[in-house]
């Protein structure tokens, strides 16, 4: 009976999932809650960095006005270039203008920010002109507290679906995972977009204490329609974590469009927020850690996991 009641409550939550997503509006979006709130954002970046920052600032401000203590922006929040040369030319270091402006914004509003992925110039930029795809966490004092550099690069050629991207042509794969970060909404484990397809990453973060997994993304139309929601729900179910996925949406330029549907998924795998496939906007998410604890207590998957030698037995 207890499990039935819990499941029915999740169904009711999922039916309300569209009600809390709002486009950029002048009147503040506000959500009453006794739990910390996160704001998951959806935007349409272009090669125009200044225009992108204006939209990003509005989204952060709206999330903060709604009561969020942490705001999540998608991969390519800084820009999405129309070709390799433009992508490289527009890149910056972590000490550059874009991250500095967002750090000032975080300090001004006293809000944490998840900024991923940022086009960060590589460690040997002057010689090889290659970049990292970096997920930057900034605290409410405007300090960078963690940087994760994307480890799985999107090199995909889907014949017949119009998808042809080779991220490794100009991007350096990150060397390692970074520990989950303690934030006002819980302990957050960092990934970026294509990392979503690799459950080893999410399980490693969960083993190191993650309560929230986040995948800022710019999924293509084809891969988004086929795999986006099911992958996010799978990562939530197998780790029993909240999963927050800010997303790019719509046409960035003539060569590229993104799927949208910025999502929030609870530890039972229920989609509790969905920003749809057309509009820029913000979804407020109640981070009820009791829900996470109940899920892990009622189905103690991690206690049932066998040792490494069991899973490596076929090798």
Residue pair 263/243 in contact by the 8 Å Cβ criterion: yes
User: Would residue 191 count as lying in a domain?
Assistant: yes
- Cα–Cα distance measured from residue 108 to residue 104, given in angstroms and rounded to the nearest whole number: 6
| pLDDT of amino acid 248 | 98
In a domain? residue 71: yes
The answer to whether residue 12 scores a pLDDT higher than 70 is no
Q: Which residue is catalytic, options 92, 150, 241, 275?
A: 150
**CA gap 298, 73 in Å, rounded:** 33
> Bigger pLDDT: 25 or 140?
140
Residue 310 belongs to some domain of the structure? no
pLDDT the model gives residue 315: 83
Is residue 150 part of the annotated active site? The answer reads yes
In a domain, 309, yes or no: no
DSSP string computed for 71-104: EEE-TTSS---SSHHHHHHT-B-TTSHHHHHHHH
CATH number of the domain where residue 291 is located = 3.60.110.10
Give the pLDDT of residue 31. Answer: 67
Of 21, 41, 61, 75, which one is the catalytic site residue?
75
Strands 68-73 and 37-43: parallel
Q: What is the pLDDT of residue 60?
A: 98
Q: Is 75 a catalytic residue?
A: yes
Domain count, the chain: 1
Tokens for 265? 């998924």
Inside any domain, residue 312: no
| pLDDT computed for residue 24 by the predictor | 64
Share of the chain above pLDDT 90, in %: 82
Q: How much of the chain exceeds pLDDT 70, in percent?
A: 89
201-260 pLDDT, tens digit each: 999 999 999 999 999 999 999 999 999 999 999 999 999 999 999 999 999 999 899 999
Residue 182 lies in a domain: yes
Does 9 have pLDDT greater than 70? no
> What average pLDDT is seen over the chain?
91
Let me know if residue 280 belongs to a domain. Answer: yes
| Boundaries of domain holding 59 | 36-295
Task: Determine, yes or no, domain membership for 276.
Answer: yes
Active site residue 49: no
Task: Note the helical H segments in the chain.
Answer: 2-15, 49-65, 84-89, 97-109, 125-128, 199-207, 221-223, 229-239, 289-298, 301-304, 308-311
pLDDT at 39 over 90: yes
Q: Who's near 26: CB < 8 A, 6+ residues apart? A: none
What is the SS3 assignment for 183? strand
Q: What is the pLDDT of residues 63-116, one digit of tens each?
A: 999 999 999 999 999 999 999 999 999 999 999 999 999 999 999 999 999 999
229 exposure class (CB count in 10 Å sphere: 0-12, 13-18, 19+): middle
Give the pLDDT of residue 29: 61
> What does the pLDDT read at residue 159?
73
pLDDT, tens digit, 9 for 90 and up, residues 144-183: 999 999 999 988 877 776 676 789 989 999 999 999 999 9
Q: Which of 21, 193, 241, 275 is catalytic?
A: 193
């Amino acid at each position: 009976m207890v499990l039935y009641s819990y499941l029915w409550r999740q169904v009711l939550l999922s039916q309300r999932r569209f009600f809390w997503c709002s486009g950029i509006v002048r009147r503040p979006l506000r959500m009453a809650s006794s739990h910390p709130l996160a704001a998951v954002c959806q935007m349409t970046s272009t090669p125009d960095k200044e225009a992108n920052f204006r939209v990003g600032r509005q989204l952060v401000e709206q999330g903060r006005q709604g009561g969020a203590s942490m705001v999540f922006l998608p991969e390519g929040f800084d820009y999405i270039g129309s070709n390799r040369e433009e992508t490289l030319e527009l890149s910056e270091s972590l000490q550059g203008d874009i991250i500095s402006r967002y750090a000032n914004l975080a300090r001004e509003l006293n809000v944490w920010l998840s900024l991923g992925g940022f086009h960060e110039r590589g460690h040997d930029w002057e010689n090889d002109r290659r970049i990292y795809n970096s997920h930057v966490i900034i605290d409410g004092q405007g300090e960078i507290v963690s940087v994760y550099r994307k480890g799985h690069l999107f090199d995909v050629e889907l014949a017949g679906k119009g998808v042809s991207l080779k991220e490794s042509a100009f991007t350096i794969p990150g060397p390692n995972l970074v520990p989950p970060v303690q934030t006002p909404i819980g302990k957050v484990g960092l990934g970026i977009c294509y990392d979503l397809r690799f459950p080893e990453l999410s399980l490693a973060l969960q083993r190191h204490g993650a309560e929230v997994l986040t995948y800022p993304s710019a999924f293509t139309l084809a891969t988004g329609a086929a795999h986006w929601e099911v992958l996010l729900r799978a990562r939530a179910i197998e780790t029993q974590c909240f999963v927050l996925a800010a997303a790019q949406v719509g046409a960035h330029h003539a060569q590229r469009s993104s799927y949208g549907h910025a999502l929030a998924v609870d530890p039972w795998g229920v989609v509790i927020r969905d920003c749809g496939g057309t509009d820029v906007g913000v979804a407020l998410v109640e981070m009820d850690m009791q829900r996470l604890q109940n899920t892990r207590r009622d189905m103690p998957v991690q206690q049932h996991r066998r040792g490494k030698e069991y899973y490596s037995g076929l090798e």
